């Protein structure tokens, strides 16, 4: 029945009021003329309301005269009447069509390009390569030969093996698979030794080729021979030169330092702040909220907020500059915090020195007060790392 209602709405119908003495006759006559009536309600002895289609109403005149009834339109419902009413509001229609055209127009452009799957290849490089073939924010979607661009991308960027470009709405999703680089060839013909690249205590040794000189638990210095490429056979008393290969894991130490002066002290935000806002439109920067800064000491924090939310392409960003009023903390209160901050800084310092494949085993922190003016934090970190280093043997 919903479909029937919907159809009636689209075609349009009238609610009529019929006044007369012989309403039953009126009903019988209309239906026998093939006019469909619905929603008949009798509101009094001589009146009733009913719904009728527009075409049916046109045929009603003769019937009404025959049975001496008066038919009046109470209400007009449906889409045709709505459209007639809209005809008088031309600007609304203009706005509606303009909206639809703009919506359709803007949705036929690419507004964001997402690259997925790249680890080593920088995103900028891929984006530049894509932009060259027309996949960039603001590009027209139609007429892009996606499969050709995929192939060109693979040719242009040799570090990727496979690429797929998907246009989803206004978003271009680019998936790439990076090429796995083959491991470097081991040149087995040139004889070499394995020496220590760092000071440390040997934790584990896996010798693949060559004669081990040191053993687990030995302390070695930088440059010390670990595995010899000169192998002497005890039975035949011959000497062979081999390309020594070994994995030598050793405990090594790193230290990081940070010094903080106590009179610098620490500051704390009081909670008062002043916000300045700017609109960044590429070349022009428009300020629209600015005031005086009534604070003696303050910190500045600057943030950039995209105007229409994160990740959407729109050339306007908002720069929010927040000025926080700060006050100095007394030394006794700040010492503990200073230590924590200094320790964090020392950790960052030491983390820079530790190679990425090393495993941290132990960590110790030492605090030193220098003449009650400075605090010095030293962090000792013990790690396990591979210290094997090849060194060529020069055979005379």
Q: Rounded to an integer, what distance in angstroms lies between the CA atom of residue 80 and that of residue 172? A: 42
One DSSP character per residue, 88-103 reads T-HHHHHHHHHHHHHH
One DSSP character per residue, 253-314 reads EEEEEEEEETTT--EEEEEEEEEEEEEEETTEEEEEE------SSEEEEEEEEETTSTT---
Number of residues in contact with another protein, rule: CB under 8 A? Answer: 16
- In angstroms, give the least distance from the CB of 6 to another protein: 16
- In angstroms, give the least distance from the CB of 25 to another protein: 9
The nearer residue to another protein, 48 or 121, going by C-beta atoms, is: 48
- In angstroms, give the least distance from the CB of 51 to another protein: 10
- Cβ-contact 35, 67 below 8 angstroms: no
The nearer residue to another protein, 46 or 112, going by C-beta atoms, is: 46
Q: How far is CA 319 from CA 123, 154, 273, 312, in A?
A: 25, 38, 16, 16
The nearer residue to another protein, 55 or 108, going by C-beta atoms, is: 55
- In angstroms, give the least distance from the CB of 76 to another protein: 21
Q: Rounded to an integer, what distance in angstroms lies between the CA atom of residue 322 and that of residue 310? A: 20
Kindly state whether residue 234 participates in binding another protein, applying the rule CB under 8 A: no
The nearer residue to another protein, 11 or 148, going by C-beta atoms, is: 11
The nearer residue to another protein, 13 or 254, going by C-beta atoms, is: 13
The nearer residue to another protein, 7 or 367, going by C-beta atoms, is: 7
Q: Rounded to an integer, what distance in angstroms lies between the CA atom of residue 76 and that of residue 120? A: 68
- In angstroms, give the least distance from the CB of 61 to another protein: 19
The nearer residue to another protein, 49 or 211, going by C-beta atoms, is: 49
The sheet that has 13-19: what strands, in order across it? 47-53, 13-19, 70-77
- In angstroms, give the least distance from the CB of 72 to another protein: 19
- In angstroms, give the least distance from the CB of 79 to another protein: 21
Burial of 81: CB neighbours in 10 Å, binned 0-12, 13-18, 19+: middle
DSSP state of 340: H
Binders of another protein among 207-226, rule CB under 8 A? none
The nearer residue to another protein, 48 or 135, going by C-beta atoms, is: 48
- Cβ-contact 246, 208 below 8 angstroms: yes
The nearer residue to another protein, 28 or 55, going by C-beta atoms, is: 28
Crossing angle (nearest 10°) for helices 79-87 and 90-106: 100
Residue with tokens 């031309």: 90
Binders of another protein among 130-169, rule CB under 8 A? none
- In angstroms, give the least distance from the CB of 54 to another protein: 18
Q: Rounded to an integer, what distance in angstroms lies between the CA atom of residue 40 and that of residue 20? A: 15
- In angstroms, give the least distance from the CB of 80 to another protein: 22
Beta bridge partners of 17: 49, 72
Beta bridge partners of 383: 252, 360
Q: Rounded to an integer, what distance in angstroms lies between the CA atom of residue 177 and that of residue 160? A: 6
Binders of another protein among 7-66, rule CB under 8 A? 23-24, 27-28, 31-32, 34, 36-42, 45, 48
Residues that bind another protein (CB under 8 A): 23-24, 27-28, 31-32, 34, 36-42, 45, 48
């Amino acid at each position: 029945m919903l479909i029937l209602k919907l159809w009636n709405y689209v075609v349009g119908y009238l609610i009529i009021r019929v006044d007369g003495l012989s309403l039953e006759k009126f009903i019988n006559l209309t239906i026998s003329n093939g006019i469909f009536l619905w929603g008949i309600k009798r509101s009094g002895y001589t009146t009733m309301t009913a719904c009728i289609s527009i075409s049916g109403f046109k045929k009603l005149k003769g019937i009404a005269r025959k049975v001496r009834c008066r038919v009046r339109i109470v209400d007009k419902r449906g889409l045709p009447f709505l459209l007639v009413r809209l005809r008088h509001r031309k600007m609304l229609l203009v706005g509606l069509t303009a909206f639809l055209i703009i919506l359709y127009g803007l949705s036929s452009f690419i507004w964001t390009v997402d690259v997925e799957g790249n680890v080593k290849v920088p995103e900028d490089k891929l984006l530049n390569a894509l932009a060259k073939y027309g996949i960039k924010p603001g590009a027209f979607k139609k007429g892009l030969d996606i499969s050709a661009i995929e192939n060109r991308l693979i040719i242009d960027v040799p570090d990727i093996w496979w690429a797929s470009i998907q246009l989803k709405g206004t978003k271009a999703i680019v998936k790439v698979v990076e090429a796995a680089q083959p491991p470097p060839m081991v040149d087995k013909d040139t004889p070499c030794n394995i020496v220590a690249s760092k000071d440390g205590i040997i934790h584990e040794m896996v010798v693949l080729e060559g004669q081990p000189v040191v053993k687990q638990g030995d302390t070695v210095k930088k440059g010390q021979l670990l595995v010899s490429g000169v192998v002497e056979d005890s039975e035949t008393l011959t000497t062979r030169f081999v390309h020594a290969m070994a994995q030598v894991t050793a405990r090594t130490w790193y230290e990081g330092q940070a010094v903080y002066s106590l009179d610098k002290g620490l500051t704390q935000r009081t909670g008062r702040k002043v916000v300045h806002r700017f609109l960044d439109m590429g070349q022009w920067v428009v300020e629209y909220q600015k005031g005086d800064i009534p604070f003696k000491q303050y910190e500045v924090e600057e943030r950039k907020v995209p105007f229409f939310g994160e990740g959407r392409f729109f050339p306007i960003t908002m720069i929010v500059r927040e000025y926080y009023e700060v006050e100095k903390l007394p030394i006794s209160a700040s010492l503990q915090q200073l230590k924590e901050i200094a320790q964090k800084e020392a950790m960052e310092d030491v983390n820079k020195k530790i190679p990425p494949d090393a495993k941290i085993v132990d960590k110790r922190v030492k605090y030193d007060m220098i003449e009650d003016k400075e605090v010095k934090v030293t962090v000792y970190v013990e790690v396990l790392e591979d210290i094997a280093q090849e060194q060529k043997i020069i055979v005379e």
